[in-house]
Structure 1
Amino acid sequence: MEIYSNENEQLNALRGFFAQNGKALAIGVIIGIGALAGWRFWSNHEDGSSREASSAYQQVSSALDASKPETLDAAAKFASENSNTYGALASLDLAKRYADTNQLDKAASQLQNGLKDTSDANLQAVLNVRLARVQLQQKKPDDALKTLDQVKGDGWTAIVADVRGETLLSKGDAKGARDAWSKGIASDASPALKEMLQMKMNNLPG
C-alpha cells in the first residue's frame, strides 16, 4: 500500500489511476488504498448485479447536493436498500454532506450503517477514520479512541496516529498526544505527513 500525506492526496491518486484505465467508477470516497488494491477491489465486484448497483450508486452520488434535501433523501434510501459495498459508499458520501452542514449525529449514524454493509478492510478503515473524526467533533473522545482501535493495516498508522493525537489532546492528555504523533512519525509515513505531525508536537505545551 502506498502511503500519502493525507486523505485528499490518496483520493487524487485513485482518481488518476481510474482515469487512465477508463473506469467510470465511484472513486470519490475510496481513500486509504493504493491503486492496485483499488483495481482489485472493483474487479471483484464488477459482475452483473454489481454493475447495476454501481451505476445506481453513481447516479445517486453525483446528484448529492446538501442544498437539495431530496438528493440526500435519495442517497439515504439507496443506502438503506443496499446492504453491500455500494450502500456503504453511499453512506460515506452522505455522511460527508451531513458533516459539512454540522449535522454530526446524522453523519455518525450513516458511517455506522456503512460499517455494517461492507466486509472490505480498506473501506472499513475509511469509515472508521471518518467516524472517529465525527465523534471528535461531537466531543466524544472516548468513543473516537475506541473507533480508531478498529482500524487495521500499516498503511493507516500515521493517519490514525494523527487523529488519536488530536483526540487525546482534546482530553487534556498532552503526553498521550505526543506519544501518538511520535508513533506516526516513526511509521512509514510520507515526509509531508511526518512534517505535519512534527509541527503538532512542536506546538504542544511544555
Structure 2
Amino acid sequence: MSHTKRILVNGFGRVGRALFRLLETRKEAEVAAINDPLPADQLAYLLKYDTVMGRFPGEVSIQEGALMVNGRRVALTHCERLSARELAGCDVVVNSSGRNNTRENLETILEHGAARVFVSKPLSSGVADRTILMGVNQHELQPKDRIISAGSCTAHCYAPILKTLHERWQVQRGYMMTVHAYTSAQNMVDGGHERDPRRGRAGAQNIVP
C-alpha cells in the first residue's frame, strides 16, 4: 500500500487554501499541518467561506487549537520560522507564505526533516534546484531536486501556449504583456504605497502599469 504524503502548508493565503481544497479531493497526499500567523478561528473561517471558490464542501471547525476538517485533525502553528517540531510527521513543505525564500532558509527546512520544499513563487538564480511548470517541463524533475519553485502565475498562463507555438513553428523572439488580477496587496480605495505611488490606486477600478 502506497504511503500518503503528509504536507505542511506554510502560509494559508490564496495559494495555501486553494491547495488545501485540491488535496482534499486526492488520496495520494493530504495537508497534515498548517503554519500561519492568523489565529485558528480566522483560518477556519477563511477556509470555510471563500468569495471566489464558494463554501468549503465539508465540515470545518476548531478543536483544541487544531483545525478539524471532515473529522480529520490538521495541526495549526503560528511561528515565524519552521523548526523540527512543526515538521514532525510531515514529508513535504509547501511554502506559500511568500517569505523566507533564501537558499539558507529553505535548506534549514530540509535539515529539519522535510524531503522536499515546494515554493509557490519564482526564486532567484541559485536558490531553487529546479523550476517546474506543469504541462511544460514536469518531466525534468529529478530525485535529487529538493527545493522546487512552481514559477509564477504569469508563467503558468503563457508558458504552455509558448511551448506549443515553439514546437510547431519555432519562436525566435517575442513580447508579452500581462494584465494581472488585483490581490490583497493592493488598496480597495486610493492611498499611498511605500515603493510605487501607482500601486496605491484602488485595485478594482484601475489598471496599474
1 or 2 for the larger relative contact order (CA 8 Å, sep ≥6)?
A: 1
Structure holding more strand per residue:
2
Please say whether Structure 1 and Structure 2 have the same fold, judged by a TM-score greater than 0.5: no
Task: Say which structure is richer in helix.
Answer: 1
TM-score, normalised to structure 2, is 0.34
User: What TM-score, normalized to structure 1?
Assistant: 0.34
